[in-house]
Amino acid sequence: MGTPVNIIVGSHVWVEDHSLAWVDGEVSKLNGEDAEIQTSNGKRVVANLSRIYPKDMEAPAGGVDDMTKLSYLHEPGVLQNLKIRYELNEIYTYTGNILIAINPFQRLPHLYDAHMMQQYKGAPFGELSPHVFAVADVAYRAMINEGKSNSILVSGESGAGKTETTKMLMRYLAFLGGRVATEGRTVEQQVLESNPVLEAFGNAKTVRNNNSSRFGKFVEIQFDKQGRISGAAIRTYLLERSRVCQISDPERNYHCFYLLCAAPQEEIEKYKLGNPKSFHYLNQSNCYELVGVSDAHDYLATRRAMDIVGISGKEQDAIFRVVAAILHLGNIEFTKGKEIDSSVPKDEKSKFHLNMTAELLMCDPRALEDALCKRVMITPEEVIKRSLDPLGATVSRDGLAKTIYSRLFDWLVDKINVSIGQDPNSKSLIGVLDIYGFESFKANSFEQFCINFTNEKLQQHFNQHVFKMEQEEYTKEAIDWSYIEFVDNQDVLDLIEKKPGGIVALLDEACMFPKSTHETFANKLYQTFKNHKRFIKPKLSRTDFTIAHYAGEVLYQSDQFLDKNKDYVVPEHQDLLSASKCSFVAGLFPLLPEETTKSSKFSSIGSRFKLQLQQLMETLSSTEPHYIRCVKPNNLLKPAIFENVNIMQQLRCGGVLEAIRISCAGYPTRRAFFEFINRFGVLAPEIVEGNHDEKVICGKILEKKGLKGFQIGKTKVFLRAGQMAELDARRAEVLSNAAKTIQHRIRTHNARKQFIALRKATIHVQSLWRGRLACKFFESMKREAGAVKIQKNIRRYQARKGYSKLRVSGLVLQTGLRAMAARKEFRFRKQTKAAIIMQTRWRCHRASSYYKKLKRASIVSQCRWRGRIARRELRKLKMAARETGALKEAKDKLEKHVEELTWRLQLEKRLRTDLEEAKTQEITKLQNSLQSMQIKIDETSALLVKEREAARKAIEEAPPVIKEKQVIVEDTKRIDSLTGEVESLKASLHLEEQRADNSERRYAEAQESIEEKQKKLQETEGKVHQLLESLSRLEEKLTNLESENQVLRQQAVSVSMAPNKFLSGRSKSIVQRSAEGGHIVGDPKPALDMHSHSIIQRDHPEVEEKPQKSLNEKQQENQELLIRCIAQHLGFAGNRPIAACIIYKCLLQWRSFEVERTSVFDRIIQTIGNAIETQDNNDVLAYWLSNASTLLLLLQRTLKASGAAGMAPQRRRSSSATLFGRMTQSFRGTPQGVNLSFVNGGLNGGVDTLRQVEAKYPALLFKQQLTAYVEKIYGMIRDNLKKEISPLLGLCIQAPRISRASLVKGSSRSLANSAAQQALIAHWQGIVKSLGNFLNTLKANHVPPFLVRKVFTQIFSFINVQLFNSLLLRRECCSFSNGEYVKAGLAELEHWCYKATDEYAGSAWDELKHIRQAIGFLVIHQKPKKTLDEISHDLCPVLSIQQLYRISTMYWDDKYGTHSVSSEVSFYG
């Protein structure tokens, strides 16, 4: 502190300022004890000399790294030094052994890399720049060398960087001694991973901080004998339990309550929760949400953090069930019961919350009500149950809530410690303490009292440590320090914790008396501490009191001190929750010894708080302390902002200024001998020039100036407070006298110099005026000559102007005539071209008509020729049927045919139930006729058998030769009769054959009609599928239009209020463009660089002749150049489509996404549409598919609509119904193989670095149109490939026909058969070739692999459907040899998929599983031995029973003659 002797006029000083804390200035006037100061910000301030501090004008420009080196160790000096270093990104500063760390709010990676850690390893403290590594190194070296545990106390308010500092400390300690990994994560990582869980259950919003820790955390980092980190433990202290039940506005309760209320809907319904406003423990304050914080997101983050630290899902559910039970418990209200001084739940709402609490805690609701409303008193004679009044029941309810929450928090800490792992054999540790700082608000209650009590204790420990360092410094320099007084705050601690007369003891005493109130408690305090210097009674309040803490005076309101201090241990609560059916809740309340459960014991939070604080201080006292004070430079959390007032308050609360006061009590100013002589040698130059020792020179200078009380050590000079300022004042006087002498000499020199300059200037002026007269004469002569020259030039100009007009007129006439001739030539060529086109179309039509007629005549001729051959064959068959032995063969054939017809009719009845109703009557008639025919055939067969048997018996029983003629005659008659019957049977058989032929013809007609209807049904199903797809696309477009309409409605007001000038001009340009058709004809450019000046600018002479074009014309010109560019095939650069990148960069550069009206999107879409309008060329389609999909991905990542968040959930789900709806959703995460880095390094980071743009309606409409074009191009490419392979599929399903005779005889394949097989393989190879060419086209155009996989998946699905349907509908295809041929073709397809790799083929081969399993069934041997289970589960798991039955009944072996599956399998089928 300064004195009047030190301050003179002209001195540079510091003075207090309300906005800047301290401001520098210069003393302009002294008035007794007051001084008038001109500050650096332009103000004039009058202040008392005792409130002024001198400023060191010779301080280093970059500040000092240790503030004990400051010439003036006071508040403004400390603040200025910190500010200077912070502006240079020097965030660390020492104050002795104390490290002050200011949060830079930005990454400074050079301060924490491995090289920096290597530099600080083993370096002496203070040798290098201040750093957190230096503090950690000192603590580690002391632990290793001395074998004593150390502690690092990291303090500061939230946002000051305590967590990051703790992280750096653990990083450096792991670097020094190595680390032991646990389950893949290091110890320091596990400690940091536990922070979200502890913050959710231990942090809350206060007046000053939105995420304030309401507990103390002491992290013990354990080391083994080799100095490696072997374990860690988290110890928590001083949890603010009273916050669970009582909060003040605008604070919040613990975060976990609000997180649970913002959980997913199923969680809220599970726990019967709702808005936080509906719960008593949360609605005591009007603050329910934090700005910029999502409780729903933090809930999920807390869940993930619990998974990381090893808390199982079952335990997590139990934890949040307990939290929900506390909320419901707080909503239980009580009213008076029927008995005196009894209480019951107030209403149905309270009973509901009581039942919910009991359900969540898994206990009996009646027992819970008794535990809250009744007490058990045990006397030697009996056990008495006493009812509680409503107030007592409320106190009991709050006590239960605080107890449950406290034990839940302790369980979480224990669980985290178990997850981290501790080393029981560790002998040394380094502890890091992170605890809440000093608090002083407008309204301070019991919580602030306990917190400030804790900080008083820590400040005493800090003061003792600082005083100890001062003693070590004085002892090292061998100076006398015995008379220095130690600044202690023991009187404040006695005021709070002394027994029996301390504030905590009086509070406990008041809580034990039921009739005590906060007013009686306040009066007791006033009477007890009325003469205490640290206790102050306010004048305008009867219940408030003020305590003068080390950081300042704090006014406390005692209104809720008694309620927040009460913390009864109720046996009824213990017994109730110990018997809970939930093991987790029962584990929180283990059974206590019998003597502790006999009666309720009084317990207070204040006493428990004091006990935990004592344990913490014992832990800190057993270690060697090191201090790091973290400072938050501003509340905006932004870099390069230094708020003086805020930082001064943090330094005061952090005890840094208290440490400065301790230093000022001794020798605050210390200077090395050479520094002192360099600065103050001017006070006694004769002593400095003498041949003396530095120590002697310093002593003589101080004695000469009459200073007393200083000390001279071994290497430094120690000055008392104020002596440095006095020496500076004497030095300023000496320098001032010297300056006056120098000024006298300089002023004499300046006066003579001014006289000489004036004389020289006079002579120069005279010469200038003489020259001016000569110049005027010369000017008149020059003007006459100029007039003559001007006349000559004017005449020449007029003549040239007339000539130029004549020349321009001639050019205009020539231009018009040439244009007329050119238009005439153009019309002639256009007419000629139209005539040629018409001739071409007519000739084409004529040739096509002739071809169709020829084809129709050929088909008619073929049909008639085949009919003639069929009739000839029919006549042969009828002649063969007349033979005697043909009867049996015709019967067998007819039976087989009837059986086959019956099976086919039954199968068609199963497969086509809708056609069965239309053909029921006809099928019934056919079955009846067949049955009657079968009956007649059976009767005929039976009659023949009987006749033959009778003839045989007659021959056997014939008499001897004597009567032979008579027998023969009788037999001949009988034979004649039989012959007649046979003839009649033949006639009936012929009739039945005719009927059978008619039935076959009718069946064939029915079969043809069925096939036609089946084809129509397939076509109808295809159309229905297409309609469903189009409906899905329309729903998706409707959803997008609704979101865009919502955006437009939100912007309607601002647009209607904006000037119409811009809109009218823009709309005019759009109308003009649409009238012209939107197509600009221009010469194509071979190459285009959008960043080149040659495209944007015209030739230099053209710029000189024409005025500068308007902005709209330039935009139109740029758009025309862009359209010309993308209309060409620009190719690819590094697997990236150049056209898409150019379009995106131009639109982004022109800010087209953010304008209300523009025509560039329509022109781009029209250009793409023109390019693919009638394209059958897959190369062109693939090129535009690659460009369109790439551009769509860029728009998906860039554009955002503000109104899209309001869409209904069902609309969002419908948008992904179609293929490309899912594709656009997959664009949000870049698919594999899609490389979207811009051309020429425009975007090195890919899609993730794209900035979001607020899109307007034209941009959103353009995105929808582009999505539609991607779908259209994709469908065109797929349909082209289907058209190409469809004719080949019809040729690939059926093998060449072989006659049954050759199959029955087992003859080898003929040459024609082998040729047909080669032709079939050629068809399959044609399909493979088409697929390969198509894949090469897509690869060449760099189509994204996921689109290629989708195309081939659909194509293979199409192949599977076509082949499998043909197999089911055509019996000739279900043969053994046909199966071998199809299997060979499928092998060709499998080989192609293997060559194409999974990147492009994907799961396409799996789409052929139906035809593959069906063909596999046809070609297996020994089918009768296969069971139904083997066929349906092992061979053909994909095929249904009906399909297997169809194939097995239609199967015929044309190669080996084997049978199909067994009859048992057919029966089950």
SS3 377: strand
Do residues 214 and 205 lie in contact, with contact meaning Cβ atoms separated by under 8 Å? no
Tokens 């096509």 belong to which residue?
848
Give the length of the chain: 1469
C-alpha span between 151 and 157 (Å, rounded): 19
Could you give the C-alpha distances from 724 to 601, 670, 728, in angstroms and in order? 62, 9, 6
Residue 875: in which H helix or E strand, if any?
A: helix 723-881
Cα-based angle 1120, 1121, 1123 (whole degrees, multiple of 5): 65
C-alpha span between 73 and 102 (Å, rounded): 19
CA dihedral 789, 791, 796, 800 (to 10 degrees): 130
Tokens 């072996």 belong to which residue?
1453
In single-letter form, the type of residue at position 1136 comes to R
C-alpha span between 534 and 938 (Å, rounded): 129
> Directed axis angle between helix 1257-1292 and helix 1160-1171, to 10°?
10
C-alpha span between 1135 and 860 (Å, rounded): 56
Q: Within 421-486, where are the H helices?
A: 446-477
SS3 150: strand
Q: Quote helix, strand, coil % in the chain, to nearest 5.
A: 65, 10, 25
Do residues 624 and 148 lie in contact, with contact meaning Cβ atoms separated by under 8 Å? yes
CA dihedral 1292, 1295, 1296, 1299 (to 10 degrees): -160
Selection from 391, 620, 455, 467 nearest residue 97 by Cα: 467
DSSP 8-state class, residue 620? H
Q: For strand 44-48 and strand 53-54, is the pairing parallel, antiparallel, or unpaired?
A: unpaired
Q: Catalytic residues, which ones?
A: 158-159, 163, 209, 212-213, 437, 439
C-alpha span between 251 and 518 (Å, rounded): 22
Cα-based angle 528, 529, 534 (whole degrees, multiple of 5): 165
Could you give the C-alpha distances from 1241 to 1193, 1229, 1233, 1250, in angstroms and in order? 18, 21, 19, 13
- What is the number of other CB atoms lying within 10 angstroms of the CB of residue 45? 16
Peptide bond into 250 cis (omega under 30): yes
In single-letter form, the type of residue at position 71 comes to S
Rg of the chain on CA atoms, in Å: 52
Peptide bond into 1101 cis (omega under 30): no
C-alpha span between 931 and 996 (Å, rounded): 12
Residue 434: in which H helix or E strand, if any?
A: strand 428-434
Residues 6+ apart with CB under 8 A from 519: 542, 543
Helices and strands (DSSP H and E) totals, the chain: 49, 26
Do residues 1375 and 1454 lie in contact, with contact meaning Cβ atoms separated by under 8 Å? yes
Residues 6+ apart with CB under 8 A from 82: 63, 93, 100, 102, 631, 647
- What is the number of other CB atoms lying within 10 angstroms of the CB of residue 984? 11
Do residues 257 and 281 lie in contact, with contact meaning Cβ atoms separated by under 8 Å? yes
Q: Which two tokens stand for residue 452?
A: 């400030």
In single-letter form, the type of residue at position 1457 comes to G
Do residues 1260 and 1201 lie in contact, with contact meaning Cβ atoms separated by under 8 Å? yes
